[in-house]
Structure 1
């Protein structure tokens, strides 16, 4: 009789794990267009916080929605039509990199190096640059 209970419990556990996996796989992607920024910060200050104490900065900013403002240092386009914006952070060693998916690029957008911009994105951490993904331009 106990064997039936164990089999039932195991089947129920597998069903719950399967449903959880299915839900995670089909969960809609995060849309930052309508999401309010958790923090609004200049690129120089954000970069400085990550270079001074990466652990503390990760605890504060990782996976949060950040709105950063800074001077556009470099623009490149990815193979998928996305924009990669490198914002000046007051350091020769790094900056803030913002990946803007093609779907988030406004029509007729004309960006120029040296231009002041505001970008909202999800912080994924620090790798020589502070990296923001799923970005939208704040116009």
Structure 2
């Protein structure tokens, strides 16, 4: 009888320890993960990405949303939107662009970006809200052609 109580006590103690560990250990956030060394699932230019969403948003969400994609384009604007470094990539369609929320690890690169500069960003596509949204982006200032 003592053995059963002892085993139950140890199992309960281990369960409590695991619950406490996972409750107080933050999960690795996708928002702060450095994507620089991650292999993108798709590589394309800003015009192709915008056009895909304009033609069929639902189909494009199935293809791009939630995936790491690499996009090459020209900088239309840099902002500090909501205290986040943000780059807007231009497209041939002047009404739409790609909003790139830059990972805080890339502040140095962000500060070097110039308007109309060709750059490559890698981020997680979240979808389309008048513009395509990429989160947690890394920046490559001199993309190879």
TM (norm. structure 2) is: 0.73
Deviation at 1:108, TM superposition (A): 8.3
Alignment root-mean-square deviation, CA: 2.2
The answer (yes or no) to whether the contact 2:125–2:132 under 8 Å persists in 1 is: yes
Query: Partner residue of 1:29?
Result: 29
After superposition, the Cα gap between the structure-2 partners of 1:49 and 1:79, relative to the gap in structure 1 and judged at 3 Å, is closer
Q: Which residue, 109, 112, 117 being the options, matches 1:110?
A: 112
Gaps of 5+ in 1: 1-14
Which SS does the other structure have where 1:50 is aligned?
Answer: helix
Deviations 1:26-48 (A, max 9, x none): 32013213211111100000000
Deviations 1:68-96 (A, max 9, x none): 0001001112453x311110111121111
TM (norm. structure 1) is: 0.76
Gaps of 5+ in 2: 1-14
After superposition, the Cα gap between the structure-2 partners of 1:51 and 1:66, relative to the gap in structure 1 and judged at 3 Å, is same
The answer (yes or no) to whether the contact 1:105–1:137 under 8 Å persists in 2 is: no
